[in-house]
Amino acid sequence: MSFLSILYAILFYAATILLVAGLGRKIAQYARTPAPLKIPTMPAPTTQTGVVLRVATEVVFFRQLFKSNKWIWLFGWMFHMGLFLVLARHLRYFTEPVWAWVVLIQPFGKYAAFAMVAGLAGLWGRRILVERIRYISAPSDHLMLALLLGIGLSGMSMTFVSHVDIVGLKAFLLGLMRFDWSHSLPSDALLLIHLLLVAILMIIFPISKLLHAPGVFFSPTLNQVDNAREKRHLAPWAAGLDADRAE
């Protein structure tokens, strides 16, 4: 293994640990924190099945965002769906043999990158051009878009412009996964940039606004059943207060 390979190997082990542990910690925190009151945004489903559908509709179609602002919805949805397909396509670098469905979506995954990058550009354009959104943007909001755009563009360059030793990359990655460190990372500049940016993204995921990904599943306004009258809802810390009820 070359020095560079060792560096990247360490980087990716560290990034993976930080991503999984950080995200696990936040998810545990969200799950542990009680929701003492029933606060679904109405009208809300009256059954648990209805709630699953509601949250699924939000996660897949961004329903409330669609209602809210068609431009943000268009760019945001293009980006996220593009990213989803691109990520799915990337599974081919981590599986041997490659799963049939991953082979099947390969062409879609390749071109979805354009949607992803166009969506990001649209979002960034709005962040700069629309006064209200400029006002609420911190430097990190711009950097986040730059980072994602950097990942998208460097990745696309490797797919469509200047091919890299993808077979060598796959051997390296499978090696990392199997703790077999005999394969070196190909040293194409584009690839190194792409991987570095991805590692940064993985590291900052659990300490940034990217927490909206687990957050949406825990949002009480979306995931609560409208049944307050039928079923008494009581948080553990609030239950203690019933003890001093004067009757």
Partner 1 sequence: MADFETPSFREYPTIPVLQEGIMNNGGPFVAKPAHNEPLGYPGELVDGWEDKAVAKLGDLASRYRSLQVFLDSCVKCGACTDKCHYFQGTHDPKNMPVGRQDLLRKVYRRYYTFAGKYFPKLVGAVDMTKEVLDDWYTYYHQCSQCRRCSVFCPYGIDTAEISMAAREIMDHVGLGSKYNNEIIVKAQTVGNNLGLPEPALVDTLEGLEEDLLDDTGLEIKVPVDVHGADVLLVTPSADFFAEPHIDGLMGYAKVFHAAGISWTLSSYASEAANFSMFIGSYENMKKQAERIRKAALDLGVKRLVVGECGHAWRVAYSFWNTLAGPFDFLDPNYPVPQHIVEFTHQLHTAGAIKFDKEANDDKVLTFHDSCNVSRASRMGDKPGGQYRLPRDLLRASANKFVDMPRDTIFESTFCCGGGGGLLTDDLMEVRVKGALPRMEALNHVIQENGVTHMAAICAICKTQFAKVLPYYGMGMDQIISLHQVVGDALVLGAPNE
Residue with tokens 């040293």: 187
C-alpha 237, offset from chain centre: 32
User: Of the candidates 2, 29, 49, 162, which one interacts with partner 1 according to CB under 8 A?
Assistant: 29
At closest approach, how far in Å is the CB of 218 from partner 1?
5
User: Of the candidates 13, 14, 33, 162, which one interacts with partner 1 according to CB under 8 A?
Assistant: 33
167 part of the interface to partner 1, by CB under 8 A: no
41 part of the interface to partner 1, by CB under 8 A: yes
Amino acid identity of 121?
Answer: A
45 part of the interface to partner 1, by CB under 8 A: yes
User: Of the candidates 1, 19, 133, 147, which one interacts with partner 1 according to CB under 8 A?
Assistant: 133
178 part of the interface to partner 1, by CB under 8 A: no
**Alpha helical stretches, state H, the chain:** 3-32, 48-61, 63-68, 70-90, 100-129, 131-136, 139-156, 166-177, 189-204, 212-218, 220-223, 236-239
Nearer to partner 1, 3 or 244 (CB): 244
For residues 199 and 185, give the distance between their C-alpha atoms in angstroms, rounded to a whole number.
Answer: 15
Amino acid identity of 201?
Answer: L
For residues 96 and 134, give the distance between their C-alpha atoms in angstroms, rounded to a whole number.
Answer: 45
**Using CB under 8 A as the criterion, which residues of the chain lie in contact with partner 1 when the complex forms?**
26, 29-30, 33-39, 41-46, 58, 62, 64-65, 67-69, 72, 76, 123, 126-127, 130-133, 135-141, 143, 204, 207-209, 211-212, 215-216, 218-222, 226, 228-229, 231-235, 237-238, 241, 245-247
